[in-house]
Amino acid sequence: MPTVGDSITARLAVDPSDLSTAATLVVTDPEGAVTTPVVTGADDNAVWTAPVTYTMAGLWRLSWTVTGTGAGVEHELVPVAPAPALMAGVRSYATTTQLANKLGAAPPLDAVELLERATRLLDSDFLLSAVYDVDSDGMPTDPVVAAAFADAVCSQVEFWGEVGVETDISGPLQGVVIGSVQLQYGAGDNRSGPSYYAPGIARALASIPADKIRWAALSGGCPW
């Protein structure tokens, strides 16, 4: 599968063909923009080629039109993958280096995506009621808080590596008591047991001193 930035040679074989055979190529990118690269015929017009550069991820359509002998239309959909992600520009409380140190091994190839996903999970499911110092990007400025958040998201990624990213046996987290690190789960019949959340998240958050972070109660019950 090609990735963003790849330049390939699109190829079409025409059978039957003769000197009257001609071909054109229309390339449509995932956003609908159209280009018509220069095509070249070979082997007495039996083979046609054209250069194509994939500039964005998504589904591309290559549409060949043949006139003369062998006339017809042929479409090909090409899935193009995004370039491998690095940490630059990604909102994450931890780096791949911190994750590798947590795992004691090389991080998975999708580590950036997993860290970003774990960060979103921490924000939406644990930190909605948290009050702490942040910079203009909303990232914690206190090194103790930053280290705890990094530990939390790395713990979640480690947990996903053990049980699977889609594991959700017990349902959403209903309550956490930071002082004794008690987790309460419930969904449907108020199931209990293995959770979508890594136990290390609560331990990491519980390690933050009270003068570094404040948990403000929300109306309607426990914020977690």
| pLDDT tens digits, one per residue of 102-147 | 999 999 999 999 999 999 999 998 998 899 999 999 999 999 999 9
Better-scored residue on pLDDT, 184 or 209: 209
Place of tokens 């280096």: 97
pTM metric for this prediction: 0.64
Mean pLDDT of 204-222: 77
- Whether 54 contacts 28, CB under 8 Å: no
The pLDDT > 70 percentage for the chain reads: 83
Q: Which of 222, 223, 217, 162 lies closest to 195 in space, CA to CA? A: 162
Identity of the amino acid at 8: I
Query: How far lies 151's CA from each of 157, 178, 209, in Å?
Result: 10, 16, 15
20-29, 131-140, 179-188, 190-199: least confident range: 179-188
The domains of the chain, with CATH numbers, are 7-80 (2.60.40.10), 96-215 (no CATH)
Would you state the pLDDT for residue 83?
Answer: 87
Would you state the pLDDT for residue 217?
Answer: 61
Would you state the pLDDT for residue 174?
Answer: 52
pLDDT-derived band at 160 (thresholds 50, 70, 90) equals very high
Residue 187 has pLDDT above 80, yes or no: no
Would you state the pLDDT for residue 169?
Answer: 44
Residue 176 has pLDDT above 70, yes or no: no
Residue 71 has pLDDT above 60, yes or no: yes
Separation of alpha carbons 174 and 184, rounded Å: 5
Separation of alpha carbons 186 and 192, rounded Å: 7
Would you state the pLDDT for residue 32?
Answer: 97
The DSSP-derived string for 46-114 is TEEEEEEE--SSEEEEEEEEEESTT-EEEEEEEEEBPPPP-STT---SS-HHHHHHHHTSPPPTTHHHH
Would you state the pLDDT for residue 220?
Answer: 39
Would you state the pLDDT for residue 180?
Answer: 35
Would you state the pLDDT for residue 224?
Answer: 45
Better-scored residue on pLDDT, 85 or 54: 54
Computed over every residue of the chain, the mean pLDDT equals 87
Tokens (6 digits) for 213: 């972070």
Better-scored residue on pLDDT, 87 or 77: 77
- Whether 195 contacts 182, CB under 8 Å: no
Would you state the pLDDT for residue 84?
Answer: 82
